Structure 1
Amino acid sequence: MHIVYVSDGKAGHRSQALGLFQAMQRQQANATFEEVFINDLPIISLIKALFFSKNTLFEQAPNFIFGVGSHTHFRVWLLGKIFKKAKTVILMKPNLPIAWFDYAVIPEHDGIHADSHVIVTRGALNPIRNENRHQTARILIALGGSSKRHQWNQEKVLLSLQQIVEHNPDSEIILTTSRRTPAGFIDILKQQSSAKKLQICPVEQTPQGWIFEEMQKAEAVWVTEDSVSMIYEALTAGCRVGVVAMDRLKQDRITNSVDRLLEEKLIANVFDINLLPEGQVLQEADRVVHQITK
């Protein structure tokens, strides 16, 4: 089984495609993955290949063609016309008619109902799975920052961190940041008394894949609520998940999805690890593979 991934170069999009591919590998060990960037797939070249029946674009003919990101959709559709035996899969709500593709894998917060072309998932796909290596009383805190729907509130975040430390005196607590965490925040945090109980690992000092490994070892993960993808990654890793509240600039489908997780008690806005919900069994990528390969 050969998968061609039409890539726009964005790490978050690639993570989704890798999540689906790795789930395919677990089902079929000989599955192969070829990433092709959109700059190497000019539209005019694809149109020529379509009209002249030229299907030697890739190392081998694909069985599946994945696309994530709006600039990939038309290319995936054209490639589906060139490689008629391949199934086309868009890992988001496409900007073209859904029926143009074999499958669209769409997070439930987009409000699209499942049908023969649409697979609805809890959050975006990711390459994590629960490896059952969680260490009791090990906590990971992952900080985000301001976004188009959240405003960073330094005092609120500092207070939440203090509460987590105070409520979990016997826990090992590792804290990391993201590219959106305000510059200088770590220096301010280090001046707080609670910082003595924290292992602080700024994102700039962590290697690729570090946070996924930490999720495998943590019993619980606290995430600032702006980082929705990380909430789902922690759930997929099988961690108990808490959220650190942020000031909301607006209410929309993304903030509603966090509220829904809170209502369903899959995550909690508390500070004591013992009050967090038990870890979940979230295997969305494996579920999607089962549907698109049956």
Structure 2
Amino acid sequence: MNSPFVIWQLGDGKPGHENQSLGLAEAIGRRIPVAVHRIDLSGGERLIARLRSTFRQSREFPAPSLIVGAGHATHVPMIGLARRTGTPCVVLMKPSLPAGLFDLCLVPRHDLRGVPGGNIVPTVGALNRVHVADGTPKSGRMILIGGPSSTHGWDTEGTLRALADIVASAPEATWTLTDSRRTPEGVRAKIRSRFPRIELFPHEETDRGWLPDRLAAAAEAWVTEDSISMIYESLTSGARVGLLPVPRQKTGRVARGIDRLVADGFATPYDTWKHDGVLPPPGQVLREADRCAGLILERWYPQAR
């Protein structure tokens, strides 16, 4: 292509949603030159105000080749822009509106039931920004912890006991740990006092590229089971992935998705690792963003591939 492939990315300001659409945009950018223009929907306005803001911001951008977004706040504005410009729109989640209103829905398979429709592509987890270039040295050891959620409770002492076993398994290794917005108050202080060999990076002190870069160089990653997005980011990195135990509050779609990852050989529960003494590599490295980028270009822009 002589000019960049223009992507309008609708963002609601939530890191998990933004990382999905950026992951797709960056994957397209690994194939062809792209220019990403972000439309900010993080203000929390009412729908009419949000639409006005969307159209006002979009007037400053060159005509799009693709419109992408994740998060319920992006749905109606995305459809409005697609209709106004005649451009394909791609939603990266199970939408809250009828799927037929979007040109393509990239939906994590654990959110789907039954046979997906023609414009729904199941993905193994949510797309993300992790990318590992060929030949990247992989020696790092990561620990990623979350916190209480709608699907999981929390057990600080249980998590600390598991960390003690994991750190003791590699006495000379340096471990890097980061937490999340859901991590309970006081957990970081306990980790610092009990595990001086763990380098702790609070989530609020890292930028949005820090975790993808660290995971790209990781050979091993341990993630609390509640942190579904960080589990899939770790699997995309190609690291050996262990699951730290967290009490389950529900046995719904998230739990089923985690159990399927274990059954398919992607990740190893802590209890299994402790019994066997082995953290095996995943049977397959996830490259879902790259796969979906290829599908999109093949569907609408085959000449650009």
Per the normalisation by structure 2, the TM-score is: 0.85
Q: Which amino acid aligns with 1:37?
A: D
Among 15, 33, 36, the residue aligned to 1:33: 36
Note the 1:147-186 alignment, pairs <5 A: 147-186=149-188
Give the corresponding residue for 2:231: 231
Give the CA deviation at 1:124: 0.6
Give the corresponding residue for 1:261: 261
Q: Which amino acid aligns with 1:23?
A: A
Give the CA deviation at 1:101: 1.2
Pairwise CA RMSD: 2.6
Q: Which amino acid aligns with 1:22?
A: E
Give the whole-Å Cα distance in 2 for the aligned partners of 1:204 and 1:100: 36
Give the corresponding residue for 1:69: 71
Q: Which amino acid aligns with 1:263?
A: A
Q: Tell me, which stretches of 5 or more residues in structure 1 are unaligned?
A: none
SS of 1:199 mapped into structure 2? strand
Q: Is the 8 A contact 2:129 2:212 kept in 1?
A: no
Q: Is the 8 A contact 1:3 1:32 kept in 2?
A: yes
Deviations 1:21-73 (A, max 9, x none): 111111112x21111123699647969x99xxx9x734211111112111211
SS of 2:93 mapped into structure 1? coil
Give the corresponding residue for 1:212: 212
Among 281, 284, 289, the residue aligned to 2:293: 289
Note the 1:84-99 alignment, pairs <5 A: 84=86, 86-99=87-100
Give the corresponding residue for 2:83: 81
User: Which runs of structure 1 show a deviation greater than 6 angstroms over 4 or more consecutive aligned residues?
Assistant: none
Deviations 1:210-237 (A, max 9, x none): 2222212221000000001001001111
Give the whole-Å Cα distance in 1 for the aligned partners of 2:277 and 2:28: 36
SS of 1:32 mapped into structure 2? strand
Give the CA deviation at 1:91: 0.8
Give the corresponding residue for 2:240: 240
Give the whole-Å Cα distance in 1 for the aligned partners of 2:214 and 2:148: 23
Give the corresponding residue for 1:17: 21
Q: 1:44 to 1:225 in 2, by over 3 A?
A: closer
Q: Which amino acid aligns with 1:185?
A: V
Q: Is the 8 A contact 2:23 2:128 kept in 1?
A: yes
Give the CA deviation at 1:240: 0.8
SS of 2:121 mapped into structure 1? strand
Give the whole-Å Cα distance in 1 for the aligned partners of 2:99 and 2:74: 14
SS of 1:293 mapped into structure 2? helix
Give the corresponding residue for 2:222: 222
Deviations 1:158-196 (A, max 9, x none): 11001101222243222222222111122223343xx14
Q: 1:274 to 1:32 in 2, by over 3 A?
A: farther
Deviations 1:244-288 (A, max 9, x none): 010111111011111111111110013479722214321111111
Give the whole-Å Cα distance in 2 for the aligned partners of 1:278 and 1:44: 49
Q: Which amino acid aligns with 2:156?
A: Q
Q: Which moved more, 1:200-209 or 1:281-290?
A: 200-209
Q: Which amino acid aligns with 1:149?
A: T
Give the CA deviation at 1:207: 4.2
SS of 2:125 mapped into structure 1? coil
Q: 1:24 to 1:79 in 2, by over 3 A?
A: same
Deviations 1:116-166 (A, max 9, x none): 201110111111112343433x31111111111111101110110011012
Among 126, 129, 143, the residue aligned to 1:127: 129
Q: What count of residue pairs does the alignment treat as equivalent?
A: 285
Give the whole-Å Cα distance in 2 for the aligned partners of 1:106 and 1:32: 24
Q: Which amino acid aligns with 2:210?
A: W
Give the whole-Å Cα distance in 1 for the aligned partners of 2:151 and 2:137: 32
Give the whole-Å Cα distance in 1 for the aligned partners of 2:50 and 2:220: 49
Q: Which amino acid aligns with 1:7?
A: G
Give the whole-Å Cα distance in 2 for the aligned partners of 1:197 and 1:104: 43
Give the CA deviation at 1:15: 0.7
